[in-house]
Amino acid sequence: MSTWLQPIRLAGRVGYLIVSCMLVALVFVQVFHAGFAVLVDAGNWTAHRNLGNLFSLPVFAMGILSLIGWMPVRFFLMSLLLFGLYVMQYIFLYAMPQSGAPALTALHPVNALVIGFTGYTAVRGAWHLVAEAWPAEAKARRGALGLAAAACAVLAVSVGLRTGTWAFAGDNGGSGVSLAASTESSVPAPYLAMQNPFGDGAGPGPAAAAAGEQIAQQRCIVCHAPEYKGKQLGAVRSADLTASAHNRSAQFLMWAISEGGQGGMPAWKNGLTEEQRWQLVTFIKSLKQ
């Protein structure tokens, strides 16, 4: 390789090392947010979700830097693997419950562990490559590199801890409000203007309620219990749908089902058609009978 390319190659490898350190640090912060949301404050699901939306940035950067650094092909393949694992996080979280296999959602944290281990493997490999490029006696230089990597890891932790204050357009994780604390006045105008085409039990209501019950058995009982009376999910308790049948309007239920909520209620506006959501609303309203 040409002499003038060697500094570029080294810079790419150093960059790969630093970015992979940041990725591993972000994984640790993600675990913290998840634990905090489950055990302390369910509102921290927002921080957990927002940070997850940022994970693609270091993964993409690692792929590019592996090419700039002319690194062995395994480093580029690790970047591809990390990207695939990142995509799987969303599949486990959103697609699995909607596909009728909600139990597979439990693989979401397991997949996160694989991401963390793969990132750690990338850090170790990149460190050895960079260390080999400098003579053994250059301890000060390698020490400075270690401090730089540690500083970037600390920066990643700081950024990760602040993500709870960020919002992303088009976020599919929920409306960002607490449904339990919301009132009918909280329902947005577009939902207030909607009318249930199936009514609350008259006319085509019974058939729609039966269709809604099938949807509820696939989508809802995992969080709301088979009797639909809710259950404890870490620091938050899911809603008692039998109570909601009495206390909530059809428009409120349509809004909650469509947009989700901050306490972990998923948004189903992309996973269920409008007709299916109204069938689900009709079934919930039938629980008061």
pLDDT tens per residue, range 49-78: 778 878 888 999 999 999 998 999 999 999
- On whether residue 174 sits in a domain, the answer given is no
- On whether residue 172 sits in a domain, the answer given is no
Which of 58-67, 133-142, 188-197 bottoms out in mean pLDDT, i.e. has the lowest? 133-142
Domain end call among 115, 137, 165: 165
- Mean of pLDDT values over 145-152: 76
- On whether residue 94 sits in a domain, the answer given is yes
Supply the pLDDT for residue 202.
45
pLDDT tens per residue, range 153-169: 777 777 766 665 544 33
Highest mean pLDDT among 21-35, 93-107, 195-209: 21-35
Same domain? For 147 and 212 the reply is no
CATH of the domain at 280: 1.10.760.10
Supply the pLDDT for residue 46.
67
Supply the pLDDT for residue 166.
47
Backbone angles phi, psi at 236, to 5 degrees: -125, 150
Helix (H, G, I), strand (E, B) or coil at 237: strand
Same domain? For 150 and 202 the reply is no
Supply the pLDDT for residue 198.
86
Q: 153-186 burial by CB neighbour count: b if 16+ within 10 A, else e?
A: beebbebbeebbeeeeeebbbbbebebeebeeee
Dmax (CA) for the chain in angstroms is 85
Q: How many domains does the chain have?
A: 2
More confident residue, 66 or 46: 66
Stated as kind and residue range, the H or E segment containing 250 is helix 250-259
- On whether residue 28 sits in a domain, the answer given is yes
Supply the pLDDT for residue 176.
56
Task: Give CA–CA dist 150/25, Å, rounded.
Answer: 10
Per-residue pLDDT band at 172 (split at 50, 70, 90): very low
pLDDT tens per residue, range 276-287: 999 999 999 888
Task: Give CA–CA dist 74/122, Å, rounded.
Answer: 9
Nearest alpha-carbon partner for 126 in 76, 195, 193: 76
Q: Which two tokens stand for residue 41?
A: 């404050």
Supply the pLDDT for residue 167.
42
Per-residue pLDDT band at 253 (split at 50, 70, 90): very high
Same domain? For 159 and 201 the reply is no
Supply the pLDDT for residue 288.
72
Same domain? For 248 and 146 the reply is no
Supply the pLDDT for residue 132.
79
Same domain? For 159 and 198 the reply is no
Same domain? For 10 and 97 the reply is yes
| Structural domain harbouring 128 | 3-165
Supply the pLDDT for residue 108.
87
Same domain? For 190 and 158 the reply is no
Same domain? For 70 and 188 the reply is no
- On whether residue 178 sits in a domain, the answer given is no
**Residue 124 burial (CB count, 10 A):** 12
- On whether residue 202 sits in a domain, the answer given is yes
Token pair 């921290």: residue: 44
Same domain? For 115 and 194 the reply is no
- On whether residue 90 sits in a domain, the answer given is yes
Domain end call among 135, 165, 195: 165
Same domain? For 161 and 205 the reply is no
Domain end call among 132, 165, 198: 165
- Spatial neighbors of 78 by CB under 8 A, at least 6 apart, are 62, 118, 121, 122, 125
Helix (H, G, I), strand (E, B) or coil at 284: helix
- On whether residue 252 sits in a domain, the answer given is yes
Average pLDDT, the chain: 80
Same domain? For 151 and 212 the reply is no
**Residue 99 burial (CB count, 10 A):** 12
- Spatial neighbors of 240 by CB under 8 A, at least 6 apart, are 224, 228, 229, 230
Supply the pLDDT for residue 42.
58
- The yes-or-no verdict on residue 174 having pLDDT over 80 is no
Ordered DSSP codes for 59-110: HHHHHHHHHHTT--HHHHHHHHHHHHHHHHHHIIIIIHHHTT-GGGGGHHHH
